[in-house]
Structure 1
């Protein structure tokens, strides 16, 4: 396993990591979680991602209990969680100082930890002044409840505004952003162009150098579409698209345009004699601004296969990358001011 700095910080994170979204609390309980987490640790993974909203808090409880029962040394781990959706009350969501502080306390109770390493604002909050959010995140760091803070699914402009407020107040700005990032991100529909890919490869460009922004990207396999296991009308019973909460996502994802691109990518993977899933994860990890790629899995065999993506990185020559781009045609054009 290779370890990279989280942006310009001194924090080292494994190049591939594991996230609890969908799996913990929806598909897996503590016993299964322990086996998966141990498999990750056995292969050098040290970064584990969560959020207060995952399985309505159950995902944090499972991760915390599993880590406690495994008896790991806390300093060996980098734990990340995210705040925004904490409940149904008017102050249980958003990025107000009240919710961020109370939400942090609640997450730490569920995780049974004194601190998280990285705390993220799960979405931007138009109803809360950015200065209030920046002050609250710094208070959390000052109290030792988190070491670093960042954002998830924020635009470049919003991150820049947060940094401007932090610098004006002589406070710490967000060191990391967690966007969705994969080969199919821009092809959800003809009318919906995802922010993530254009942000990562174009809009964020000045932020990497100016603020030392790092990325912890999620959904490298596009919710499993880039494994090649889905086809028109075929949804395996043990897949996430078979879950009631994700059937709408399946109907939006498994369209002819997407499946045609998956077929083309599968041909490239076959030429390289590697699984499509490994090719897709390696492509994400090959971006030098990505600190870690968050993967998900419900089986140890899936974790082992995902981790082998690191062996595919040397195969991503310029010629191979051009072939990939010819299939997906998703590379955003850089704005003139960013060149």
Structure 2
């Protein structure tokens, strides 16, 4: 496992991060989920990413159990707030920042998180109030650093311009060969501002594993077949031209000595502004496979060809 610096902070993180959304929020039996967490740590993953809304606290609770008794400095723990936790609890107001960090710490069984992230931008809360509240929890020792997920570039710039507040060190966007939007504005701004990317869905919701074959039925155990995921899954990525393009990447991955999934993650990690790529798992052996993407010296020409192939269909 290779490691990278997280923005302008003093924290280093593993190039592969363990994401808890699908694993510890109830989608996987609890003991299997805990086994996945332990396997991730055993294989050198140090960054564990979660959010209060995953399973409405369930993911943090299971993580708290999985991490109990482990040395606190042996992992980097990140969580988020913004989405509704009840009919009245949502957003990034000062009251919510303080309430939700305390609730997350209790579920996680720790006295601080290493990274506290705004899960989305809250247009209903004054930005100054949000940043002041986040700064207060850093000063109180409840969070070491701050980040955000899927904020527009102008709001990132506005937050960075505020005086007297703790600056962001991380951004968490969706980023993959199938979704390169962050390259336009967010990544350049972040690179100039000491902010690293911790990217989610580097496998394009599983499409870049190659398991969805053109013209074939969707595998019954796949994310695309899950009723719980139907609203979030990008069905246009299951169109034949996209799936055919993904299949055309397999020879490139083979030339690199990687599986297609490993190749897709390695493509994400080619970007210097990316500190870590988040992977999920429903079985421990999936972690064994995906971490092999870290540290691979892939010939740049293979990535250029991959971009050309995918760029024709997305």
Unaligned stretches of 5+ in structure 1?
186-196, 333-339
Equivalent in the alignment of 1:177: 171
Distance 1:8 1:223, change over 3 A: same
Q: Does the aligned pair in 1 maintain the 2:168–2:195 contact within 8 Å?
A: yes
**CA displacement at 1:273 relative to structure 2:** 4.0
Q: Say how many residue pairs are matched.
A: 312
After superposition, the C-alpha distances for 1:62-118 in whole angstroms (9 at most, x for unaligned) are 1111111xx31111110000101132323x111111111111111111112111110
After superposition, the C-alpha distances for 1:26-68 in whole angstroms (9 at most, x for unaligned) are 3223311221122111121110000011112111111111111
Equivalent in the alignment of 1:193: none
Q: Note the 1:62-141 alignment, pairs <5 A.
A: 62-68=62-68, 71-90=69-88, 92-141=89-138
Equivalent in the alignment of 1:188: none
Larger displacement relative to structure 2 (256-265 or 283-292): 256-265
Q: Note the 1:135-214 alignment, pairs <5 A.
A: 135-165=132-162, 168=163, 170-185=164-179, 197-200=180-183, 202-209=185-192, 211-214=193-196
Cα RMSD (Å) of the superposition?
1.9
Inter-partner Cα distance in structure 2 for 1:118 and 1:325: 32
Equivalent in the alignment of 1:281: 265
Inter-partner Cα distance in structure 2 for 1:253 and 1:326: 17
Unaligned stretches of 5+ in structure 2?
none
Q: Does the aligned pair in 1 maintain the 2:138–2:145 contact within 8 Å?
A: yes
Q: TM-score, normalised by structure 1?
A: 0.87
Q: Note the 1:203-282 alignment, pairs <5 A.
A: 203-209=186-192, 211-231=193-213, 232-248=215-231, 249=233, 251-282=235-266
Q: Does the aligned pair in 2 maintain the 1:25–1:58 contact within 8 Å?
A: yes
Distance 1:228 1:67, change over 3 A: same
Inter-partner Cα distance in structure 1 for 2:53 and 2:237: 23
Larger displacement relative to structure 2 (117-126 or 270-279): 270-279
Inter-partner Cα distance in structure 1 for 2:70 and 2:184: 37
Inter-partner Cα distance in structure 1 for 2:305 and 2:47: 32
Q: Does the aligned pair in 1 maintain the 2:153–2:185 contact within 8 Å?
A: no
Q: Does the aligned pair in 2 maintain the 1:220–1:293 contact within 8 Å?
A: yes
Q: Note the 1:42-57 alignment, pairs <5 A.
A: 42-57=42-57
**CA displacement at 1:23 relative to structure 2:** 2.0
After superposition, the C-alpha distances for 1:191-225 in whole angstroms (9 at most, x for unaligned) are xxxxxx2323544313312x201111111111111
**CA displacement at 1:255 relative to structure 2:** 1.6
Q: TM-score, normalised by structure 2?
A: 0.94
Inter-partner Cα distance in structure 2 for 1:206 and 1:60: 31
Distance 1:45 1:89, change over 3 A: same
